C-alpha cells in the first residue's frame, strides 16, 4: 500500500464513520436536522390520586401516588419525612417508611432514617399520564408461575 | 438648652407678622406636600426593585424565589417581596416598616453580606417570618388566598381534606404547613411538622 492510498483512507475514514452513524443520530433527534431546534413534547401531568398502586414484584419500591413538585429534599430538609416519618404518620395517615430504611448496611437498626436511605427519590418515583415510549413486556411472576403450572398439566 | 427653651416659648406665642389665613393655608399646603412625599417615599421603598437593590436580597432570596410558584406559574400572577413581607393595612405597614429598619443596620455592618453568612443565619431569619405569620394568622397569604373562595373540588384529595378541617376550624393557619413556598428552607431539625 503506497502512501497516497493510506492518506486517502485516513481522510475517508471520518466520512465513512459519519455516514454510518448519521441515521442513528437523526433517529434520536426524531429526524430533526442537527441545525434545527426540535419542538419539545408537552410535559405530562403527574398522577396525583393518592391511590396506592400494586407493586410489580415484592421488592419494588412503592410508587409515589401524588405530585411532589417543589418538595425540598436536601441535607437541610426532607419534605417527604414531614408525612412519612414514624412520628408524623398518626397525624398525616400516610404510610410509614418501611423498617428497612432504619437499618444500616450491617442490618443494625438506627434511631432515625439511615443516611443511605435518606434520599427518597433515588428509588421512589411519581408516575405521569403519558404514552409508553416502548411497549412494556414485563410479566408478573404470578402469571409466570400460572403459565408453568398450565404447561405442566398439559404434559 | 437655652436654645430649646426659646423655641418652645416661640411655639406658644401668637403670630405677629403672618395672617391667620396664610398660616392655615400654608400649613395645609405644607401638610399635603409632606404627607404626599412621605407616602410616595414609603411606597417607593415598598417595591421589589427597592428590596433587591441590596445584593443580600438580590443574590439570595430573590434568586431562590425565581424557581417557585410564587414567581412563575401557569397564569402569570406573581407575588413581589412586599406582597408577603409587608402588611397592606396602613398602621400594620408602618409598624412592620419600623421594625424592618433593622435591615439597614444589618446592611451597614454586613451581617449577611456573603452567601455563607446568609445560609448560617437562614434558620433565625426564617423563624422570625414564621412567628410573624403565625401571630397574624397568615395575613399576607390571605391577602391573595381567600379561604371563602377556595373550590375544594379543584384541590387534590389531601389538600381539600386538610383545608376543610384544620384550616377551616382555625386550628391551623397557612404557614403551619406551607413553609418555604417562596424561598429555600433552612435546616428544619426540630421544627414542628418536620
Q: What is the pLDDT of residue A21?
A: 58
The answer on pLDDT for A37 being more than 80 is: yes
Q: Is residue A18 over pLDDT 70? A: no
* pLDDT band (50, 70, 90) for residue A39: confident
Task: Say whether B193 and A49 touch across the interface (CB within 8 A).
Answer: no
Contact (CB<8Å) B185/A76? yes
Task: Give the CATH number, domain containing residue A48.
Answer: 1.10.1130.10
What pLDDT digit, counting tens, does each position of B132-154 carry?
Answer: 999 999 999 999 999 999 999 99
Instruction: Search chain B and give the residue with CA nearest A94.
Output: B158
C-alpha B162/C-alpha B177 separation (Å) is: 10
- Cβ proximity of A150 and A142 under 8 Å: no
Strand partners, A126: A64
- Would residue A144 count as lying in a domain? no
The DSSP code for A59 is: T
Host domain of residue B99: 22-145
* Interface test mutation site (partner A, options B72, B188, B191, B192, max chain A beta carbons within 10 A): B188
Cell numbers standing for residue A33: 436536522
Are residues B193 and A88, on separate chains, in Cβ contact within 8 Å? yes
In a domain, B41, yes or no: yes
User: Is the domain of A98 the same as that of A124?
Assistant: yes
Same-domain pairing of A72 and A95: yes
Q: How far apart are CA A11 and CA B154, in angstroms?
A: 64
Query: Which residues are registered as beta bridge partners of A128?
Result: A46
Q: Is residue B150 part of a domain?
A: no
* CB within 8 Å of A54: residues ≥ 6 apart: none
CB A138 within 8 A of CB A56: yes
- CA A151 to chain B, closest CA, distance in angstroms equals 46
Among B122, B137, B125, B150, CA closest to B176 = B137
**Higher per-residue confidence, A111 vs A10:** A111
The C-alpha atoms of residue B188 and residue A75 are separated, in whole angstroms, by 10
A22: pLDDT strictly greater than 60: no
Instruction: Give the pLDDT score at B114.
Output: 93
Determine, yes or no, domain membership for A140: no
For B69, which of A48, A70, A81 is closest by C-beta distance?
A: A70
Are A101 and A58 members of one domain?
yes
Q: What is the mean pLDDT of residues B24-39?
A: 94
Stretch A47-68: mean pLDDT: 93
B189 forms beta bridges with none
**Do A11 and A69 fall into the same domain?**
no
Q: Which domain holds residue A17?
A: 1-40
Q: Count up the domains in chain B and report the number.
A: 1
Identify whether A33 is part of a domain.
yes
Residue A25 CA to residue A80 CA, distance in Å, equals 39
Which three cell numbers, joined as nine digits, stand for B178?
Answer: 406551607
Residues A123 and A93 in one domain: yes
Mean of all residue pLDDT scores within chain A: 85
The pLDDT of residue B60 is: 93
Mean pLDDT of chain B: 92
Q: Nearest chain B Cα to A90, which residue?
A: B193
Residue at B70 is within a domain: yes
pLDDT of residue B37: 95
Residues A8 and A68 in one domain: no
Indicate if A83 and A107 belong to the same structural domain: yes
Tens digits of per-residue pLDDT, A65-94? 999 988 999 998 999 999 999 999 998 889
The pLDDT value recorded for residue B127 is 95
3-state secondary structure of A31: coil
B140's enclosing H/E stretch is helix B139-142
Q: Are residues A89 and A64 in the same domain?
A: yes
Q: Is pLDDT above 80 for A17?
A: no
pLDDT for A145 beyond 80 = yes
Q: Which distant-in-sequence residues (6+ apart) come within 8 Å of A113 by Cβ?
A: A78, A81, A85, A97, A101, A102
CA B101 to chain centre: 11
CATH of the domain at B52: 1.10.3820
Q: Which of A72, A78, A81 sits opposite B180 (nearest CB)?
A: A72
Distance of CA B109 to the CA centre of its chain: 22
How many structural domains comprise chain A? 2
| Residues in A touching B188 (Cβ below 8 Å) | 76-77
The reply to whether A56 and A110 lie within a common domain is yes
Residues A95 and A52 in one domain: yes
3-state secondary structure of A45: coil
The confidence score (pLDDT) of residue A19 equals: 57
Statement to judge: residues A66 and A85 lie in one domain = yes
Contact A48 B187 (CB under 8 A): no
Question: What count of other Cβ atoms lies within 10 Å of the Cβ of residue B105?
Answer: 9
Confidence of residue A15 (pLDDT cuts 50, 70, 90): low
Nearest to A76 among B156, B187, B193 (CB): B187
Place of cell 434568586: B63
Instruction: Give the per-residue SS3 of B159-181.
Output: HHHHHHHHHCCCCCCHHHHCCCC
Closest approach of chain B CAs to the CA of A78, in angstroms? 8
- Record: contact A81-B194, CB cut-off 8 A: yes
Q: How confident is the model at residue A24 (pLDDT cuts 50, 70, 90)?
A: low
Separation in Å, CA of A62 to nearest CA in chain B: 19
B173 in a structural domain = no
Whether the CB of B190 is below 8 Å from some CB of chain A: the reply is no
Looking at chain B from residue 84 to 123, which residues have their Cβ under 8 Å from any Cβ of chain A? none
* DSSP calls for A112-144: S--GGG--GGGT--B-BS---SS------HHHH
Distance between CA A123 and CA B81 in Å, rounded?
Answer: 37
Distances (CA, A) of A152 to A79, B42, B109: 51, 86, 83
Amino acid at each position: 500500500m503506497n502512501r497516497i492510498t493510506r492518506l486517502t483512507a485516513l481522510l475517508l475514514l471520518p466520512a465513512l464513520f459519519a455516514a454510518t452513524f448519521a441515521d442513528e443520530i437523526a433517529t434520536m433527534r426524531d429526524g430533526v436536522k442537527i441545525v434545527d431546534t426540535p419542538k419539545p413534547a408537552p410535559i405530562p401531568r403527574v398522577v396525583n390520586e393518592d391511590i396506592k398502586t400494586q407493586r410489580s414484584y415484592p421488592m419494588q419500591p412503592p410508587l409515589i401516588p401524588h405530585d411532589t413538585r417543589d418538595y425540598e429534599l436536601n441535607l437541610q430538609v426532607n419534605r417527604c419525612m414531614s408525612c412519612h416519618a414514624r412520628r408524623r404518620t398518626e397525624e398525616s395517615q400516610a404510610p410509614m417508611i418501611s423498617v428497612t430504611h432504619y437499618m444500616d448496611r450491617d442490618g443494625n437498626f438506627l434511631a432515625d432514617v439511615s443516611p443511605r436511605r435518606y434520599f427518597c427519590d433515588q428509588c421512589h418515583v411519581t408516575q405521569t399520564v403519558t404514552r409508553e415510549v416502548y411497549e412494556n413486556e414485563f410479566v408478573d411472576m404470578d402469571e409466570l408461575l400460572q403459565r408453568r403450572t398450565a404447561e405442566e398439566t398439559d404434559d | 438648652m437655652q436654645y430649646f427653651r426659646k423655641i418652645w416659648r416661640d411655639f406658644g406665642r401668637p403670630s405677629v407678622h403672618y395672617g391667620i389665613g396664610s398660616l392655615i393655608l400654608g400649613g395645609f399646603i405644607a401638610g399635603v406636600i409632606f404627607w404626599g412625599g412621605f407616602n410616595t417615599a414609603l411606597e417607593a421603598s415598598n417595591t421589589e426593585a427597592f428590596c433587591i437593590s441590596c445584593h443580600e436580597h438580590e443574590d439570595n432570596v430573590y434568586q431562590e424565589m425565581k424557581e417557585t410558584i410564587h414567581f412563575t406559574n401557569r397564569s402569570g400572577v406573581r407575588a413581589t417581596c412586599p406582597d408577603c413581607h409587608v402588611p397592606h393595612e396602613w398602621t400594620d405597614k408602618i409598624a412592620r416598616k419600623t421594625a424592618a429598619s433593622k435591615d439597614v443596620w444589618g446592611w451597614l455592618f454586613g451581617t449577611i453580606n456573603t452567601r455563607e453568612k446568609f445560609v448560617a443565619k437562614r434558620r433565625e431569619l426564617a423563624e422570625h417570618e414564621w412567628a410573624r405569620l403565625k401571630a397574624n394568622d397568615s395575613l399576607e397569604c390571605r391577602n391573595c388566598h381567600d379561604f371563602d373562595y377556595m373550590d375544594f373540588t379543584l384541590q387534590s384529595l389531601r389538600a381539600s381534606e386538610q383545608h376543610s378541617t384544620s384550616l377551616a376550624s382555625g386550628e391551623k393557619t397557612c404557614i403551619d404547613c406551607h413553609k418555604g413556598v417562596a424561598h429555600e428552607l433552612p435546616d428544619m431539625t426540630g421544627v414542628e411538622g418536620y
